[in-house]
């Protein structure tokens, strides 16, 4: 933590910027990025699904929600200020520092909407957040595609035909095309999955659907997506750089996307030669309307995982599991789940807590930091699994 923070603070002084905002997102703003793509974790060692780290030349402030404030208070040194963002907003904190100064953020790791909203609020105090253009310390922006396995869902598991999904979208496009940057939306619309994210089966990719009769484009650096037959035959697979050139070459004038799901760098680079509108296509609402196939998939997921949980509790009660600490307990459940025919992976890191640790929201035991199993009166376990039919 100390080395990277010192590098940042030294850079702020030399560049005459007041602050740097660190988010915990990846390029596609995924809810659960890989640890290698989590900036807050890589700088501090603290893991969370939501937070902002505000670094000043002489101060460190961490903003999160009430799920993580207790854990953060126990983790960080006392000189680091910890705030529940619902009680103390990041923008209000900056405004209280004064006026007429600038700060930075990596615009690849913040949504277009959030970047615009923050600057609108801060403009009252003549404070600006600018794109960070320099490399202060090395970052990994992409997961390891060498260990990716991309595939299409079996037909009897797919909620809706992917071609009909694309047509549903096309009918609602008001511009030259729709850019979808949200990985969950892409996985759902195309009925595809991929394994480069540690706790997800969503493909690390964007999707562009033109209004006119052109092939849709998958925007990704993952060549293994070509292993999916329908992608290879019916889509173009391009890097973001090639995608930009494609839009220019084909004379696109105006496209649309969801600002809350698309990082600001995408907006900034495309807005140089295109008009960009906020889309009104309700993909979230479309996905929430569960088909009969999805309902049956969910029932089957709960049935299969319910059997595993029942087996786990029986073994725990009859002392057939050799449990020494919280981490081993969560790992034993994982091993039992792996015996399931349709099990892919955990959908998030398990919460496994004895007694008072259960009061720490999103507490996660680690191999070298885990309470021992000895005369405890309470076990809190929260777990999730990804199966071929869905998550639970």
Report pTM: 0.90
Residue 154 binned pLDDT confidence (cut-offs 50, 70, 90):
confident
358: pLDDT strictly greater than 90: no
360: pLDDT strictly greater than 80: no
Which domains does the chain possess? Answer: 2-131 (3.40.350.10), 145-288 (3.40.350.10), 292-391 (no CATH)
Can you tell me the distance from the alpha carbon of 68 to that of 90, in angstroms, rounded to the nearest whole number?
16
Answer whether 40's CB lies under 8 Å from 63's CB: no
Can you tell me the distance from the alpha carbon of 103 to that of 234, in angstroms, rounded to the nearest whole number?
44
Phi/psi class of residue 45: alpha, beta or left (left: φ > 0; alpha: ψ in -120 to 50)? left
| Other C-beta atoms lying within 10 Å of the C-beta of residue 319 | 8
What mean pLDDT do residues 155-183 have?
95
Answer whether 91's CB lies under 8 Å from 381's CB: no
Phi and psi for 275 in degrees, rounded to 5? -90, 135
Phi and psi for 294 in degrees, rounded to 5? -65, -40
Q: Quick one: which of 49, 53, 54 has its CA closest to 33? A: 49
Give the per-residue SS3 of the chain: CHHHHHHHHHHHHHHCCCEEEECCCCCCCCCCCCHHHCHHHHHHCCCCCCCEEEEECCCEEEEECCCCHHHHHHHCCCCCEEEECCCCCHHHHHHHCCCCEEEEECHHHCEHHHHHHHHHHHHHHCEEEEECCCCCCCCCCCCCHHHCCCEECCHHHCCCCHHHHHHHHHCCCCCCEEEECCHHHHHHHHCEECCCCCCCCCCCCEEEEECCCCCCEEECCCHHHHHCHHHHHHCEEECHHHHHHHHHHCCCCEEEECHHHCEHHHHHHHCCCCEEEECCCCHHHHHHCCCHHHHHHHHHHHHHHHHHHHHHHHHHHCCCCCCCEHHHHHHHHHHHHHCCCCEEEECCCCEEEEHHHHHCCCCCCECCECCECCCCCCEEEECCEEECCEEC
Least confident window among 151-155, 209-213, 279-283, 371-375:
371-375
Residue 318 binned pLDDT confidence (cut-offs 50, 70, 90):
confident
Residue 129 binned pLDDT confidence (cut-offs 50, 70, 90):
very high
56: pLDDT strictly greater than 90: yes
Least confident window among 10-19, 123-132, 289-298, 371-380:
371-380
Residue 15, C-beta contacts closer than 8 angstroms, at least 6 positions apart: 104, 134
Residue 276 binned pLDDT confidence (cut-offs 50, 70, 90):
very high
Q: Quick one: which of 20, 37, 18, 17 has its CA closest to 28? A: 37
At 302 the pLDDT is 87
385: pLDDT strictly greater than 90: no
Can you tell me the distance from the alpha carbon of 76 to that of 62, in angstroms, rounded to the nearest whole number?
9
What mean pLDDT do residues 110-138 have?
97
Phi and psi for 73 in degrees, rounded to 5? -60, -40
Instruction: Return the percentage of the chain with pLDDT > 70, whole number.
Output: 98
What mean pLDDT do residues 80-98 have?
97
Can you tell me the distance from the alpha carbon of 204 to that of 147, in angstroms, rounded to the nearest whole number?
13
What mean pLDDT do residues 348-376 have?
78
What mean pLDDT do residues 117-145 have?
96
Can you tell me the distance from the alpha carbon of 347 to that of 223, in angstroms, rounded to the nearest whole number?
24
Phi and psi for 362 in degrees, rounded to 5? 60, 35
């Amino acid at each position: 933590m100390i080395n990277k923070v010192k590098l940042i603070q030294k850079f702020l002084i030399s560049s005459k910027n007041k602050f740097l905002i660190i988010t915990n997102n990846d390029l596609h703003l995924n809810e659960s990025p890989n640890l290698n793509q989590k900036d807050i974790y890589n700088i501090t060692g603290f893991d969370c699904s939501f937070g902002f780290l505000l670094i000043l030349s002489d101060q460190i402030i961490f903003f999160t929600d009430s799920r993580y404030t207790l854990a953060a208070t126990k983790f960080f040194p006392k000189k680091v200020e910890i705030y529940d963002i619902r009680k103390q907003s990041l923008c209000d904190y900056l405004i209280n520092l004064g006026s007429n100064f600038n700060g930075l953020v990596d615009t690849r790791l913040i949504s277009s909407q959030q970047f615009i909203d923050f600057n609108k609020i801060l403009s009252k105090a003549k404070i600006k957040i600018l794109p960070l253009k320099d490399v202060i310390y090395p970052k990994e922006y992409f997961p390891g595609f060498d260990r990716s396995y991309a595939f299409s869902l079996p037909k009897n598991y797919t909620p809706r035909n992917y071609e009909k999904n694309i047509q549903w979208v096309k009918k609602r496009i008001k511009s030259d095309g729709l850019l979808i940057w949200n990985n969950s939306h892409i996985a759902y619309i195309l009925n595809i999955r991929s394994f480069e994210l540690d706790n997800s089966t969503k493909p690390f990719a964007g999707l562009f659907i033109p209004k006119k009769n052109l092939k849709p484009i998958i925007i990704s650096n993952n060549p293994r997506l070509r292993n999916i037959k329908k992608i290879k035959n019916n889509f173009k697979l391009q890097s973001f750089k090639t995608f930009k050139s494609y839009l220019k070459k084909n004379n696109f004038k105006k496209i649309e996307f969801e600002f809350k799901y698309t990082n600001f760098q995408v907006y900034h680079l495309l807005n140089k030669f295109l008009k960009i509108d906020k889309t009104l296509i309700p993909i979230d609402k479309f996905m929430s309307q569960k088909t009969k196939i999805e309902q049956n998939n969910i029932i089957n997921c709960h049935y299969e995982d319910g059997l595993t949980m029942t087996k786990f509790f029986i073994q725990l009660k009859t002392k057939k599991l050799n449990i020494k600490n919280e981490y081993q307990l969560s790992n034993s459940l994982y091993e039992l789940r792996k015996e399931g025919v349709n099990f892919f992976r955990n959908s998030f890191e398990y919460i496994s807590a004895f007694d008072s640790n259960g009061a720490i929201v999103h507490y996660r035991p680690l191999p070298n930091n885990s309470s021992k199993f000895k005369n405890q009166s309470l076990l809190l376990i929260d777990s999730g699994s990804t199966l071929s039919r869905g998550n639970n």
